[in-house]
Structure 1
Amino acid sequence: MKTLEHQTLLYDEDCPLCQAYTTGFIKAGMLDKNGKKPFSKLTDEEHSFIDFKRASNEIALVDNQNKTVTYGIDSLLKVIGNSFPWMEKVGNISPIKYLLKKLYSFISYNRKVIIPNKKTEQNILQCIPSFNYKYRIIYILFAIIITAFTLYNYSGLFQDLPKGNFSREAILAFGQIIFQSPFLLKFDKKTVLNYVGNLMTVSLFGSLLLTPVLLLNQFLEIPEIIILSWFAITVLLMFIEHFRRIKILQLPPYLSYTWAVYRIIALIIILNLYV
């Protein structure tokens, strides 16, 4: 790989994905040994020419010699393009770059609900993205669609139950949000949407766990008892993950129990209406 020298990526040290790809660039030789730096370690000099707010939303690539900065997808294209010029050229084609920017924003603005981190009381500089209502709502809708699609296909693996439909699964996924809403009335709008984002990430986590069974079933005939057991294990792991996130967000533990109650009510309704 061709090394892009004298360039430093300012990354969010609380974001495992950010840590992974910045470390990957250095290990691959695309950046030199000083090619990454935690956002919290910004110096006073760097504050003078770095857009603090923008760098919180879009990873900043600092040219240490010229004291210039690129942000977001342009930073990544510059690093990758130094080793693979054709990728930078393709990435800079207007329609492709537009899509890349939207995808980058979708992930960046939601990264704290994808992988949350504990609130710190220390007086340190934190790389916290701006709260963006549009991308949060898009993320929630995306999670509902993926969850509904996965559950619709998984329900088809049970021979003794009528096959569900996508609409039913989408209503059930959205219903979880509605069911939890009365227990969130005392919180502000941002706290509620942060919780809902985490709630839907738990649903995506469950969908991810169910996917291997769906894929294996295309090649093997899996016994229904295994399919049912794995579904039960998945729900348990989802409950544990939900409880863990509630603690990180410093929200009341009863939200995890109401989450479980909704799942039980939904199961009872399905069994009574469709069996």
Structure 2
Amino acid sequence: MKIIYKLKILFLRIVGYEKPLRVAFLKYLQVKYKTFKPHYETVLLESCKEAKKLGINKISVLELGVAGGNGIIALEKYKKSIEKHLDVKIDIYGFDTGEGMPPTNLKEDLPFVWKQGIYKVDKEALSKKIKSKIFYGDIKNTVGDFINTSPNKVACIFFDLDYYSSTKSFMDQIDSLREHLLPRVFCYFDDLHLPEKYISDINGVALAIKEFNSSNVKFKFGKNVDHIMDFKFPLAKSLIYMLHHFDHHDYNKFIGEAYGDDLDIKSTKIKYSILDD
């Protein structure tokens, strides 16, 4: 009877899935193969395109929360292809305590979901698999260490700190990073959704974003509208925000060349391709 009931629930979940089943298939591959992260690849690609439009050919990428290292391993794999494709240089940096999730009693951190000590990094094993620099320690202290390396401009950030408090600790230091950011920085938030529906704007990462936007004028995390034409970000659409740096000297610089002037009455075809930009 247990098998029959499980099959029933599985059937209901499949027929009730609102998106094409190919999306579920991609998600299955991501779960099955830990370094298969098409959302990481496309965020990295689009952020490099943004940098290129601004005339920047060397960029930095941050992963906040390294854990087993699958994200950095995937980024290093995608980096090789993108560097050749766009003629850019990509530096990848990881941030992690190295000791797993720290203790917390904050309700906003969802301690009933995240357990102290999980996601501990095997530093020795990971160091043999990657070339990227990882800053170990409390995120309150390591952002300054990153700044001291005089890094290239940050084009995208992968947030995977789980806790509200840890995410807020990084966000509180964004102003200190202002000289090292592009005018718009792609941000992927891994912990905005749980199937159990525990996370909302009253806790977790979503609350950190809301509070940041409420208390800042020069910086804002902007969320785009989910739309049928949003074809660029498999498995990541609603988890992507853009960090807008409104005071950046290049914020208003025109970068819309890809859209061209295809509305000219003399033109019989639209020249724009979904792959051009």
Structure number with larger C-alpha Rg: 1
Smaller-chain TM-score bracket: under 0.3
- In terms of fraction of residues, the more helix-rich structure is 1
Q: What TM-score, normalized to structure 2?
A: 0.22
Q: What TM-score, normalized to structure 1?
A: 0.22
Greater length-normalized contact order (CA 8 Å, ≥ 6 residues apart) = 2
